[in-house]
């Protein structure tokens, strides 16, 4: 451990982490990840089930040679019935790559929420069709909030329709986000006519069906990160053009990909760097599982901003 270990908490991360800086950093990381010579080392997430408590602990290490950043995130996600108030908690460890010594510990909540929503926004920027009138969000937890925030900032949606399993959660969501929201009584009602759909639920069975989707819409499928969990039905998975963050991760971790047998068209990083096309005239699905490299470059960005701020103070 370093002589002086830095701790950066969620409040300070909220202040330091600007979407305008995060988006280009993540785009570069996605492109590097999908390049042979991108300098990214990232094993598929290792996840330990804690069956007795309906939970999982994920370990997510990565190194980016181009950013010279070495990070591991530890993330726990627990399904309902656990005593914890939130289903996800994370801690991010930043190491000095030159000697492997731990330099900083960061709260992982804001990092996870913001980088996940930013990656969905990048996918949408590349894969969206011409119309961007209606955004639909299925789910009403912290990921729904972070997606609402960046999507309403980056895109000119006229309406945001939201559905969640429980009325209580969706009402809390509507109070938390600053802007207008149309609360829908069913997932189907929320999805009909939407140009972009985001699924951010803890569902283990499909909640989104291909027959509801407006042709040409773009879907960011963010939940269902276990090989036997689903958010999207086979009809949607098989009819859409399927993009993923990591091919290797998707065929190991995504129930939507594994159980539907859908063919992966490209990694998002391949679209960002221009080696695979964005098929904008068809319905597109971006299956996001979350990658350690996203946490790595985000943590490095935060640490660099923190150092600048602290040098200015002293």
Ligand X SMILES: O=C(O)C1=NCCCC1
Q: Parallel, antiparallel, or unpaired: how do β-strands 6-8 and 241-244 relate?
A: unpaired
Record the tokens describing residue 195, joined without a space: 């140009």
Cα dihedral 294, 102, 104, 79 sign? positive
Binding partner at 222 among ligand NAI, ligand X, none, C-beta below 5 to 8 Å by kind: ligand NAI
Q: Judged by CB under 6 A, does residue 201 bind ligand NAI?
A: yes
Q: Report d(CA 29, CA 246) in Å as an integer.
A: 12
Of 164, 254, 283, 296, which lies in the binding site for ligand NAI, with binding defined by CB under 6 A? 164
The Cβ-side half-sphere exposure at 3, using a 13 Å CA radius, reads 0
Q: State which of positions 119-138 bind ligand X (CB under 6 A).
A: none
Residue that the structure tokens 């695979």 belong to: 276
Which residues contact residue 114 at a Cβ distance below 8 angstroms, ignoring those fewer than 6 apart?
17, 19, 22, 146, 150, 298
Residue 35 within binding range of ligand NAI, rule CB under 6 A: no
Q: Which positions from 247 to 286 touch ligand X by CB under 6 A, shown as an x/- string?
A: ----------------------------------------
CA atoms of 54 and 98, how far apart (whole Å): 38
Question: In angstroms, what is the minimal distance from the CB of 18 to ligand X?
Answer: 20
Report the nearest approach of ligand X to the CB of residue 288 (Å): 8
CB of 168 to ligand X, least distance (A): 23
Largest CA distance in the chain: 60
- Going 127 to 130 to 132 to 136, the CA torsion angle's sign is negative
Number of residues located near ligand X, criterion CB under 6 A: 8
The CA-based dihedral angle spanning residues 118, 119, 124, 125, taken in that order and rounded to the nearest 10 degrees: 70
Stretch binding ligand NAI (CB under 6 A), from 8-16, 33-41, 221-229, 277-285:
221-229
| Binding-residue pattern over the window 112 to 141 for ligand NAI, x denoting contact by CB under 6 A | x---x----------------------xxx
Residue range at the interface with ligand NAI (CB under 6 A); choices 1-9, 34-42, 194-202, 297-305:
194-202
- C-alpha radius of gyration, the chain, whole number: 19
Structure tokens given for 250: 């998707």
**Identity of the residue, 140 or 240, whose beta carbon is nearer to ligand NAI in the bound complex:** 140
Residue 58 contacts which entry, ligand X, ligand NAI, none (Cβ below 5-8 A, type-dependent): ligand X
Angle of CA points 295, 20, 278, to nearest 5°: 75
Is 61 a residue that touches ligand X (CB under 6 A)?
Answer: no
- Which residues make up the interface to ligand NAI (CB under 6 A)? 77, 87-88, 112, 116, 139-144, 164-166, 169, 200-204, 207, 222-223, 225, 288-290
- Which residues make up the interface to ligand X (CB under 6 A)? 58, 75, 77, 88, 112, 225, 289-290
């Amino acid at each position: 451990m370093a002589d002086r270990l830095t701790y950066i908490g969620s409040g300070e991360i909220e202040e330091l982490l600007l979407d305008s800086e995060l988006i280009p950093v993540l785009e570069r990381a996605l492109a590097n990840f999908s390049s042979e010579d991108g300098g990214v080392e990232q094993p598929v997430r290792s996840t330990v089930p804690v069956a007795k408590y309906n939970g999982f602990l994920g370990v997510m290490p990565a190194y980016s040679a181009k950013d010279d950043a070495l990070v591991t995130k530890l993330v726990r996600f627990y399904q309902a019935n656990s005593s914890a108030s939130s289903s996800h908690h994370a801690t991010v460890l930043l190491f000095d790559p030159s000697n492997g010594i731990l330099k900083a510990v960061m709260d992982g909540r804001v990092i996870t929420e913001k980088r996940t929503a930013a990656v969905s926004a990048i996918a949408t920027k590349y894969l969206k069709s011409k119309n961007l009138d209606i955004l639909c969000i299925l789910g009403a937890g912290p990921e729904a909030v972070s997606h609402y925030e960046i999507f309403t900032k980056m895109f000119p949606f006229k309406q945001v329709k939201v559905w969640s399993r429980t009325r209580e959660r969706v009402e809390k969501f509507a109070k938390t986000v600053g802007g207008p929201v149309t609360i829908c009584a069913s997932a189907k009602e929320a999805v009909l006519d939407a140009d972009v759909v985001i699924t951010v639920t803890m569902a283990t069975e499909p909640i989104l069906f291909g027959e509801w989707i407006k042709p040409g819409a773009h879907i960011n499928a963010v939940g269902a990160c276990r090989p036997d969990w689903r958010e999207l039905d086979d009809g949607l998975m098989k009819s859409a053009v399927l993009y993923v963050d990591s091919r290797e991760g998707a065929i190991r971790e995504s129930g939507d990909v594994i159980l539907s047998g859908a063919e992966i068209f490209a990694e998002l990083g391949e679209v960002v760097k221009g080696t695979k096309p964005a098929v904008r005239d068809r319905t597109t699905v971006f299956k996001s599982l979350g990658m350690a490299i996203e946490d790595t470059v985000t943590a490095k960005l935060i640490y660099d901003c923190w150092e600048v701020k602290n040098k200015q103070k002293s």
